[in-house]
Structure 1
Amino acid sequence: MSTGRARVLELAVLGHLASAPMHGYELRKRLNSELGAFHAFSYGSLYPCLKSMLRRELVAASTPGDGAVRGRRSRIVYRLTERGRDRLHELLSESTPAATDDECFGVHFTLFGRTRSEVRLRILDGRRARLLERLSALRERLGEQVQDPYAVELNRHRAAAIESEVDWLDALIRQERRCAERSAGAGVGLPPHQGASTHTDSRR
């Protein structure tokens, strides 16, 4: 797994464990159900990540024999340590270009409730700029004289998907700026029911 993919998986794991301790199977299920970018992740990628985090003391592990969880004899339960919370805070403070790519953006977005307002805005603005560059390149392709008709239709479909996500981001950015003015960055920028749907699948 690439360094960038490992980093975003680490962020997702830390974010989930910040809510509650859980065993690896439950953690993988939540990643798969809540973060579409992780639908292909398996034990082969999750458990090396957890082992690395254990070595770095970002998480701690316990077994039912330790009295952590009863009735699940063979499952190790993972919980966040103070060092892990510090690492999560560090990752959530980042607004690098990597945070706006297709794999990372969805993970950061699901953790916006733990992210400062100014960081949320930088990530949203960065994602919007990235998509506009992608849209410009697609429009150039559509303007070419000779193209396979199916390639044209595919590019039109991709352009429409990007335009839809840009519109969605514009609405989010306006909402975030209004919330920032009211609360100076405290709390979540969106009501819970508005944060459930993300548009993170606009591919090249």
Structure 2
Amino acid sequence: MARRAETIELAVLGLLHEGPMHGYELRKRLNLMLGWGRVLSYGSLYPTLKKMLRGALIEEATTTLTPVSRRPRIVYQVTDAGTAEFERLMSEVGPTAWEDDNFGIRFAFFGRTDMEIRLRVLEGRRTRLQERLDRIQSQLSMTEQEVDRYSAELQRHGVESAEREVQWLSDLINAERSQQVNPPAQPQS
């Protein structure tokens, strides 16, 4: 399983490729990426930023004073080493690439990833979810008589959610493969 700090590092590097950002903006954008169920605290973000600064993956670009506060606002930007680390992390195709904690962040930056890597990650995620779906369905059939209706409903919800995501992934994989066969036409000048 990917450590949370590594997931945050990947997300920070991806966001800083869009341009320099200060900590507040990074936290706001990371919380949007992580989704409604997870909130990133400053207590998680700033130690990660300090570690990334020590590792020369990012650097302080400028500091600006805000009209509301007298404290300078530190702006971070990605370094060449950070770009190389981002590319390395995005090219990984092992199980950490499709884990629940890591997949959404990686997916957000798929536009900067090679098609073959995208396909391998999508296929790995789909296989993992299909295994989970099969396990939930077998448990559901075994326990339907033994659990109350709310537990059974929760299990059915899990099955439906996994089925939707498996279908979504299959659609994405098919779209990627059709692009592989029929690459988009290049605009003529």
For normalisation by structure 1, the TM-score amounts to 0.82
Number of residues of Structure 1 aligned to a counterpart in Structure 2 = 179
Of 105, 128, 131, which residue of structure 1 is paired with 2:129? 131
* AA partner of residue 53 (structure 1): M
In the alignment, what sits opposite 2:39?
40
In the alignment, what sits opposite 1:152?
152
Contact 1:31 1:39 (8 Å CA) reproduced: no
Deviation at 1:35, TM superposition (A): 2.9
Deviation at 1:12, TM superposition (A): 0.3
Q: Does 1:4 pair with 2:6?
A: no
Q: Distance in 1 between matches of 2:36 and 2:100?
A: 8
In the alignment, what sits opposite 1:59?
58
Deviation at 1:34, TM superposition (A): 2.9
Contact 2:2 2:101 (8 Å CA) reproduced: no
* Structure 2 residue matching 1:41: 3-state secondary structure: coil
* Structure 2 residue matching 1:143: 3-state secondary structure: helix
The 5 Å alignment of 1:1-204 reads: 4-36=3-35, 39-64=38-63, 74-144=72-142, 145-183=145-183
Compared with structure 1, are the counterparts of its residues 40 and 71 closer, same or farther at alpha carbon in structure 2 (3 Å cutoff)? closer
Q: Distance in 2 between matches of 1:91 and 1:99?
A: 9
Contact 1:92 1:108 (8 Å CA) reproduced: yes
Deviation at 1:40, TM superposition (A): 1.7
* Structure 2 residue matching 1:60: 3-state secondary structure: strand
Pick the structure with more strand per residue: 2
Unaligned runs of 5+ in 1: 185-204
Deviation at 1:182, TM superposition (A): 3.0
Instruction: Find the structure with the greater CA-based Rg.
Output: 2
Contact 1:124 1:169 (8 Å CA) reproduced: yes
Q: Deviations over 1:61-91 (max 9, x none)?
A: 1333xxxx57576100000000100000100
* Structure 2 residue matching 1:75: 3-state secondary structure: strand
* AA partner of residue 59 (structure 2): A
Aligned residues: CA RMSD: 1.9
For normalisation by structure 2, the TM-score amounts to 0.88
